[in-house]
Amino acid sequence: MRRGHTVCSIVIAVAVVCALAVGGSGSEDGTKPWKDEKPWKDGSRNGTFDGLLPGFASYVRQSAGTTSSRLQDQLTVLRSFSDDPYPAVTRVLFTEHDVKARAYVRGLMVDAGLEVTVDGMGSIIGSWRTDRADWADRADDHDSRTHVVVMTGSHTDAIPLAGAYDGVVGVLGGIEAIRLLREFDGRFRRDGGDPGGGARLRHPVEFQVVMFASEEPTRFGLSCVASRVYGGVLGREGVEGLRDGGGIGFEEAARGAGVAVDVEGARAAYRDDGVTRAKRRYFVELHIEQGKELEDAGLDIGIVTHIAGPASVTVSFKGPGGHAGGLMMRDRHDASLAAAELALDVEGLVKREGSSDTVGTVGSWQVSPNAVNSVPREVVLGIDVRDIDGPRLDRVVQGVKERAKVVAEKRGVEYAVEVTNHDAPATSSGRVVEAVGLTLIVLLVVLEDLV
C-alpha cells in the first residue's frame, strides 16, 4: 500500500466518524440535513462545518506522516500472523494466529487510549466517549444521560490465501481515526479552546471500533456469526449447532482462545441501554476494494450505497459409482458430470439476469471417492450467489434448485438441495452516504497534495 493510499484510508475513516459525530439534525431517509450546497462556507449546520471539520482536517494533515508510518507498521505486524507466507494471509478463527492477532489488536486499542472490552461472542470493542461539561446545561438537552454511539470496524480473521488488507484496514483505520479524534479533542481542551469552533453536539457521542469475531465462514460454514447474534437473527441454539470440519463446536473453539461465550449477554449489549440511554445510530465500515471497478475507473475512493445479500446453497449428487476401466460409458451415472453441468448452469442463470451486480460462484467441490480410476459416486457443491437486488437474487437461487432437479433426472442420479443461508440485500443510509461524501470533499481539499 503506497503512502498516499494509506493517507486516503485515514482520511476516509476520519471522515466517517467526524461526519457522523457532528450530524446534528436531519432526516434518516437520505434528504439533505443542510440547506446550502457548501455548508462549510457559511456554517449553515450550526457552525459545525465552519469550525470543527476544517480544523480537524488540518490536524489530520499535521499528523499524516506519523499516522501513515504507524499504520504501515501495524499492517506489517498483523500480516505476519498467518498460516501461509506473505503475500498470502490465512488466519482462521480461534486458531493460533487468530489468537495472536486478537491480542495485538487489543493492545493497539489500549495504546490508542480506548476502553477495551471483549463481549460474549469474542468481538473486541474499543470505546471513547466525548466529555463536555456543558451537556447538562444545554437548554435543548432534555435528558443529559442520552448519548449517541457511532460504530466502525471490521474483522481480522482471513479466509485461506487472502490478502493483507481484507477486514484489517477497517479495524486499524477505525482505531487510528478514533485516536486522532481523541488527540484532537484533548489538544484543544488543554489549550482551553473549543475544538468545534462554536459547533455544538446535540448529545454526547461515544465512538466504538469493533473487531468482529467470526466474520468469515471458513471454520464454521456461516459468515458474520457474531453480527448475526447482535442483530437477533442467530440465537443460542444456532451457535451451539455450529461445528467445524473436525467436529469442534463454536463454544469449545472460543474457550480454547480464551473467550467465554455468552450469546444472550452479547445480544443484550447491542440493544438500546435503558440506563445509559445509549443509542446506536450509525455504523460505517472502511474496506479495501476487492474487485476492479474503482481501479479501472482510476478512482481512489468509493462510497457504498448498496450491500449485496449473499445466499449459500449446498447441492449433492449421488450415483452408483464404479471402476473406471470396467464400467462402460453407456452404463454410467456419474455424479461429477451432473455437478459439472449444474456449475455451468449457475453461470448461465447469473448471466441471464443481465446485471453486473448479480454474481454466482461454485467454489467448493467435494468428490467421493476422489480416485483417478473410480467413477465418482458422490459430489457435494458449495454455491454462493450474491446480488444487491432481492428479486434477482431469489430468481437465481430458485433457478439453481430447479436446474439441480433437471440435471439429476437427466443423469440418472439422486440429488439434494439445501439453502444454508439467504440474506436480503441492504441499502446504505442516505444520511450516512451524504455525510461521508460531504466530509470527504472538505478533507480532500485540505489534504489535496497528500492524497
Q: In the predicted model, what is the mean pLDDT of residues 124-129?
A: 94
What is the per-residue DSSP string for 132-197?
-TTSTT-TT-S-TT-EEEEEEEE---EEEEE-SSTTHHHHHHHHHHHHHHHHHHHHHHHTT--TTT
Say yes or no to pLDDT of 196 above 60.
no
Asked if residue 395 has pLDDT above 90, the reply is yes
Both 418 and 284 in one domain: the answer is no
pLDDT for 129 beyond 90: no
Mean pLDDT of the region 121-145: 66
Give per-residue pLDDT as tens, 337-392. 999 999 999 999 999 999 999 999 999 999 999 999 999 999 999 999 999 999 99
Min mean pLDDT across 9-18, 67-76, 351-360, 393-402 is at: 9-18
- Split at pLDDT 50, 70, 90, the class of 290 is confident
More confident residue, 126 or 278: 126
Nearest CA-CA partner of 209 in 410, 27, 16, 7? 16
Domain CATH number, residue 383: 3.30.70.360
Q: List the single range of 139-153, 160-174, 258-272 with lowest mean pLDDT.
A: 139-153
Sign of the Cα torsion 429, 430, 435, 438 reads positive
CA-nearest of 210, 226, 204 to 151 is: 210
Assess whether 32 and 97 both reside in one domain.
yes
Backbone angles phi, psi at 93, to 5 degrees: -50, 130
Give the whole-number percent of the chain exceeding pLDDT 90.
Answer: 59
Confidence check: pLDDT of 429 > 70: yes
Question: Residue 97: which pLDDT band, with cuts at 50, 70 and 90?
Answer: very high
Is the pLDDT score of 1 beyond 50? Answer: no
Range of weakest confidence among 15-24, 184-193, 221-230, 264-273: 15-24
- Given a cut of 90, whether residue 65 has pLDDT beyond it is no
The predicted model gives 415-424 an average pLDDT of: 96
Q: Are residues 419 and 439 in the same domain?
A: no
| Distances 115 to 24, 107, 124, 208 between C-alpha atoms, Å | 26, 11, 10, 9
242 close to 229: Cβ distance less than 8 angstroms: no
Residue 76 maps to a domain: yes
pTM of the predicted model as reported, rounded to 2 decimal places: 0.83
Position 217 pLDDT exceeds 60 = yes
Name the packing angle between helices 3-21 and 430-446 (round to 10°). 130
How far, in Å, CA of 317 to CA of 291, rounded? 32
Range with lowest mean pLDDT among 277-286, 334-343, 344-353, 410-419: 277-286
- The pLDDT score that the predictor gives to residue 14 is 53
Residues 115 and 238 in one domain: yes
- For the residues 290-306, what does the mean pLDDT come to? 88
CATH, residue 288: 3.40.630.10
Total number of domains in the chain = 2
Distances (CA, A) of 330 to 287, 327, 411, 412, 430: 52, 8, 11, 12, 60
Please check whether residue 253 lies inside any domain of the structure: yes
Q: Could you give the maximum distance between any two Cα atoms of the chain, in Å?
A: 89
Q: Is 128 within 8 Å of 181 (Cβ atoms)?
A: yes
Contact call for residues 409 and 317 (beta carbons, < 8 A): no
Mean pLDDT of the 254-281 span: 80
Residues 363 and 256 in one domain: no
Q: Provide the percentage of residues in the chain whose pLDDT is more than 70.
A: 77
Cβ proximity of 197 and 128 under 8 Å: no
> Is residue 135 in a domain?
yes
pLDDT for position 110: 98
Distance CA 225, CA 251 (A): 12
What is the pLDDT of the chain when averaged over all its residues? 83
- Partners of 318 in beta bridges: 378, 414
What contacts 227, CB < 8 A, 6 or more positions away? 212, 215
- How many Cβ atoms sit within 10 Å of the Cβ of residue 377? 19
Write the DSSP symbol of residue 249: B
Q: 451 lies in a domain?
A: no
- Model confidence band, residue 253 (pLDDT cutoffs 50, 70, 90): very high
C-alpha cell at 186: 484533548
d(CA 217, CA 382): 12
Residues 350, 400, single domain; the answer is yes
Residues 234 and 342 in one domain: no
Question: Are residues 363 and 275 part of one domain?
Answer: no
Q: Residue 154's beta-bridge partner residues?
A: 211
Q: Mark whether 138 and 160 lie in a shared domain.
A: yes
Are 278 and 180 members of one domain?
yes
In this structure, the answer to whether residues 352 and 439 fall within a common structural domain is no
247 shares its domain with 396: no
**Per-residue model confidence (pLDDT) at position 136:** 44
- Note down the domain range covering 232: 3-305+428-446
CA distance 39 to 36: 5
Report pLDDT for 31. 37
> DSSP label at 286?
-
